[in-house]
Chains A and B, each alone.
Chain A
Amino acid sequence: MAFEEAGALPRPRRLPTGRLAVVAGVVLAASAAWVAGLEMPALLSLMLQWLPHLAMGFALNVAISLGAVGLGTAAGTALALMELSSWVALRLPAEGFVTVFRNAPILVVLFATTYVFPFEISLGPWHIAFPDWAKAMIGLALPAASQVAELLRGAIQSIPSAQWDAAASLAFTRSQSFRWIILPQCAKRALPPWMNLYSTIAMATTLASLVGVHDLLEAATEATTAVQRMDFTVAVYLAVLGWFFVYCYPIARFVRWLERRLDRR
């Protein structure tokens, strides 16, 4: 009997992930509505009333994440080059930096940058304010830089050395081959993990609420403390969860699509 079935094992059906995402969204909304119960209109108007405040918070999340990943990418590229350098004086500090910030919890790094940096910088006669969000941005840029360094180093090392030789035989100098031959190929390979990193950092920006940045999560806490209603509290936190999901999930889907496309080549 078993012989007949041995050919093709029934494999589970491929799950329609897109439809599931919609279902997840509906479930979230429905649970919020369920909690709201009969007081739905009051709750809805409260939510609408607080929406601008929450949106302002989320704008800060987006700004911090973009700044942190921008800074982190610039610093991480430099670190990756340092790690691949043949000079120990360049390699060791870069490796040390990457090891420290890959092992440190992001929250702890955020506390460090918040407390260690001054609240303003004095440049001669000028005093430039150093706001909390800027400190948080640097705090997130440090782990981001270590991640970028790792993924870029991996990408650079994955380019066959024949590419370097071929570039050299075409009379490119070492720095020219790196810029024109190697880096464009790396960018393609490093793009999916880099986008995942962006999504991780975007989610990590909520940690900034713990060091006094008025981000979306902080705005949600303020709203619930001001309103003091159980259904509102539940609805607001679920809304924050949904908000981030709507922002980050498309990135995750896009990365998967990109990876599949790169795989096929």
Chain B
Amino acid sequence: MKKTIFAALLSLGALNLHAVLNEDVEVPYVPFEIKMGKHFDLVQANCLTCHSFGYILNQGKQSRSFWKEKVEKMVDAFKAPITDEDQSLITDYLAEQYGNGQP
């Protein structure tokens, strides 16, 4: 999980467009308040490899089929190695914690 990112020294960047930019700077970690719930451990193990919790909770409340599609998209389009069983349990977690009551 690389959180570091490099950034220019601001003052130098503004003064000199050819400033040598060679420092690693960390992108801050933001503690998004994710809801705890059944199978949260699987979300932690499978989803955090690619994105923060913010990426989940800022999708808004969604239907179960929406979450099912999202999990499938992570596997089909983004090639995340999530087992079939974990996919369905993660969908359960998402529908329960971030669902809108729709199937």
A pairs with B: no
Q: Which residues of B line the A interface, CB within 8 A?
A: none
